[in-house]
Amino acid sequence: VKEKGRDGWQFFSDSLQDQARQRLVITQGLRLAIANNELSPRFQPIVAAGSGRIVGAELLLRWHPPEGEVSPAAFIPIAEITGVIVPIGAWVFREACRAEADWRRRWGEAAPYVSVNVSARQLGEESLAQDFAAVLSETGADPARLLLEVTETSLMADVEANLRVLNRLADLGLRVAVDDFGTGYSSLAQLTRLPVNVLKIDRAFVNGIEQQRESRTVTRAVIGLGKALGLKLVAEGVETEAQLLELRSNGCDFIQGYFFHRPLEEAAFVAAVDREAGV
């Protein structure tokens, strides 16, 4: 019994140590990633549910240290805990602005909008709105064509504080989306107080549309709620035609997912939009 207990403890301790070591390696690597040019954006097209035409793109971060590629699912949570997400998020926002300005020079008013993830840690920075304003004016990006994605969980964690910062961002003309909607616990009263323009239906519900009645029910309810509040709806993680048809017939406006497009390198994204424009 004693041995078993020790083994159990030993195992636990090792895995915690491994976790801590991995966290340290990732954090130190991330601190240098910007200077070392190891970050790059991917752009996943967002299409109109009816026509399938590209209307926007979500910027998804990729990190390639010399050892290979690290998935954002592995490094973003750690970057949030350690706070490295703040300088990285600043880099990401600048990249989004740079893309918006470039694309508008190329396609004019028909250019796709740019959706960009903003973490709770960034929202907590007192200077966020001021910093974003400076990047907007340096890059010449149109704030109305930038959509800030904030997860429902981080949004609802501190509504009063977020209300202040989001109102400042909205005053700059930036748009706001609630990301991963349906996975957190939104108070509807709170939701109506926040300057929100878009709801993104979480992939977990989209996934279950074909097999699970509850997922179908939640998806319909979210679309109905969004419409009632005058918001636009984006469904993420759409992989099948059946999912697309269900979402479309329920009035979902926009679709993101492998059924249409995977996240693309910018050159491939530009080529896809050019192809649609008949260039």
Residues in touch with ligand C2E (CB under 6 A): 44, 60-61, 71-73, 76, 85, 89, 92, 117, 119, 179-180, 236-239, 256-258, 263
Site membership for Ca ion, residue 117 (CB under 5 A): yes
- If the CB atoms of residues 149 and 253 are measured against Ca ion, the closer one turns out to be 149
Site membership for Ca ion, residue 180 (CB under 5 A): yes
**CA atoms within 13 A of residue 150's CA, in its CB half-sphere:** 27
Site membership for Ca ion, residue 179 (CB under 5 A): yes
Site membership for Ca ion, residue 215 (CB under 5 A): no
What's the min distance (Å) between Cβ of 135 and Ca ion?
19
What's the min distance (Å) between Cβ of 260 and ligand C2E?
9
Give how far Cα 237 sits from Cα of 180, 190, 257, 260, 270, Å: 11, 27, 4, 10, 21
Tell me which of ligand C2E, Ca ion, none is bound by residue 255, counting a contact when its beta carbon lies within the kind-specific cut-off of 5 to 8 angstroms.
none
**CA atoms of 48 and 55, how far apart (whole Å):** 6
Paired with 178 in beta bridges are 150, 199
Tell me which of Ca ion, ligand C2E, none is bound by residue 76, counting a contact when its beta carbon lies within the kind-specific cut-off of 5 to 8 angstroms.
ligand C2E
Q: What phi and psi values does residue 46 have, to the nearest 5 degrees?
A: -115, 125
Tell me which of ligand C2E, Ca ion, none is bound by residue 243, counting a contact when its beta carbon lies within the kind-specific cut-off of 5 to 8 angstroms.
none
Question: Is 50 in contact with 89 (CB distance < 8 Å)?
Answer: no
Q: Strands 54-63 and 254-255: what pairing?
A: unpaired
Q: Which stretch binds Ca ion (CB under 5 A): 6-14, 109-117, 188-196, 261-269?
A: 109-117
- If the CB atoms of residues 94 and 203 are measured against Ca ion, the closer one turns out to be 203
Angle between helices 128-139 and 85-107 (to 10 degrees): 30
Residues 6+ apart with CB under 8 A from 177: 115, 147, 148, 149, 150, 196, 197, 198, 199, 200, 234
Tell me which of Ca ion, ligand C2E, none is bound by residue 83, counting a contact when its beta carbon lies within the kind-specific cut-off of 5 to 8 angstroms.
none
- If the CB atoms of residues 17 and 55 are measured against ligand C2E, the closer one turns out to be 55
Q: What is the largest CA-CA distance in the chain?
A: 73
What's the min distance (Å) between Cβ of 9 and ligand C2E?
33
Q: Which stretch binds Ca ion (CB under 5 A): 42-50, 103-111, 172-180, 252-260?
A: 172-180
- If the CB atoms of residues 102 and 107 are measured against ligand C2E, the closer one turns out to be 102
Beta strand extents in the chain (DSSP E only):
39-48, 54-63, 113-117, 146-151, 175-181, 198-201, 232-235, 254-255
- If the CB atoms of residues 111 and 235 are measured against ligand C2E, the closer one turns out to be 235
Binding site for Ca ion (CB under 5 A): 117, 149, 179-180, 236
